[in-house]
Amino acid sequence: MEKQEWLLGIDLGGTTVKLAFVNKEGTIVEKWEIPTNLVDNGIHIVSEIASSVKEKMGKWPKAALVAAGMGAPGPVDFETGSIYVAVNIGWRNYPLKSRLERELGIPVVVDNDANMASYGEFWKGTGEGTNDLVCITLGTGVGGGIIANQELVHGVSGAGGELGHITVIPEGGASCNCGKTGCIETIASATGIVRLTLEEINKKPESLIANRYRDQGLITSKDLFECVEEHDEASAAVLDKVAKYLGLTAAHVGNCLNPDKIVFGGGVSRAGEVLLSPVRAYFQQYAFPRVAESTSLECASLGNDAGVIGAAGLAYKQYGN
């Protein structure tokens, strides 16, 4: 019997490495995680991935891996598959592609983790069937990926799609991890939303969100959205600010690229229409009219699987035909 040909998708995070065997139709056959070993500046990560993959493949004697894709944090040299710098991992100018190919014995494509998640949504998620897609991921930070005419945009130094660092408050904005101030990441990330919420709580100590903060001792973006649904004015004011600047960011991106869809992913996007509805209203206000008519704003659909599916999909595009 002829062997089934599979792809390997890898999504490297600071805490865990997500892995999946994916068939050529984009369906996950098996997925699992291993801890990210940060000892000795991440020198053991690649060999531990390879060991785990070989062990799993032992369960599938009728399958063969044809190619692998890996998403990693930080800017990537797409041509060589080297990581310029991944601060949380400890890598600098790290030849990830060549080391992974040596360990796995199959061709490997490496890209930024947000690009891989974006490609996942493009291949098998909300963006399936489109040619032009922008993904904005709202998590601890804000990331993004741009697909133009079915190709990921990398830019001249691997920093294409760094949508989280579009400046929306030119003066007096909060400090961002990138070294600038006023980035959309300081507002629309989970961290940014919590910061804005705490500021609002100080102004409105009798609000529902303030009471929840006192009861719990902490506050999350999920709490904010729940309080919005309970018609809390203080929470609604925070959401309005987040939606305004996110809508403005989407409009800038839309005006540059006029994609079919702008898709929002990441943990914050699980709020769904509570978040997206006001973002759409501001997008309509700020976008060039023709863009506002033709570009739709939607939520991502693949959740935490976007990274491994996208990595497998990009590997298939590069090597699987």
> Closest Cα partner for 77 from 98, 89, 93, 99?
93
Q: Are 24 and 161 in the same domain? A: no
Q: Are 89 and 235 in the same domain? A: no
Q: Are 150 and 259 in the same domain? A: yes
Q: Are 221 and 289 in the same domain? A: yes
pLDDT for residue 16: 95
Structural domain boundaries, residue 60: 4-121+305-319
Q: Are 153 and 165 in the same domain? A: yes
CA–CA dist 310, 305 (Å, integer):
8
CA–CA dist 111, 146 (Å, integer):
13
User: DSSP H helical segments within 66-174, as ranges?
Assistant: 96-104, 113-124
Q: Are 62 and 166 in the same domain? A: no
pLDDT for residue 159: 86
Q: Are 15 and 102 in the same domain? A: yes
pLDDT for residue 85: 86
pLDDT for residue 321: 64
281 burial (CB, 10 Å; 0-12 / 13-18 / 19+) is middle
> Closest Cα partner for 75 from 156, 184, 157?
157
Give the DSSP H/E element, type plus range, for residue 112. strand 108-112
Q: Are 201 and 257 in the same domain? A: yes
pLDDT for residue 14: 87
CA–CA dist 222, 269 (Å, integer):
10
Q: Are 135 and 235 in the same domain? A: yes
Q: How many domains does the chain have?
A: 2
Q: Are 215 and 314 in the same domain? A: no
Q: Which residues of 90-121 are buried (b: 16+ CB within 10 A; e: fewer)?
A: ebeebbbbebbbebbebbbbbbbbbbbbbbbb
pLDDT for residue 109: 98
**Angle CA 98–104–107, to nearest 5:** 60
Q: Are 310 and 71 in contact (CB under 8 A)?
A: yes
pLDDT for residue 151: 96
CA–CA dist 80, 76 (Å, integer):
9
At 64, which CATH number? 3.30.420.40
Sheet holding 76-77, edge to edge: 76-77, 82-86, 91-94
Amino acid at the residue 124: K
Q: Are 56 and 201 in the same domain? A: no
pLDDT for residue 86: 85
pLDDT for residue 27: 97
Q: Are 315 and 232 in the same domain? A: no
pLDDT for residue 111: 96
pLDDT for residue 74: 82
Q: What is the pLDDT of residues 44-85, one digit of tens each?
A: 999 999 999 999 999 999 999 999 999 998 889 999 999 988
Listed as ranges, residues in the chain with pLDDT below 50 are none
Q: What is the pLDDT of residues 76-102, one digit of tens each?
A: 999 999 998 887 898 999 999 999 999
pLDDT for residue 138: 95
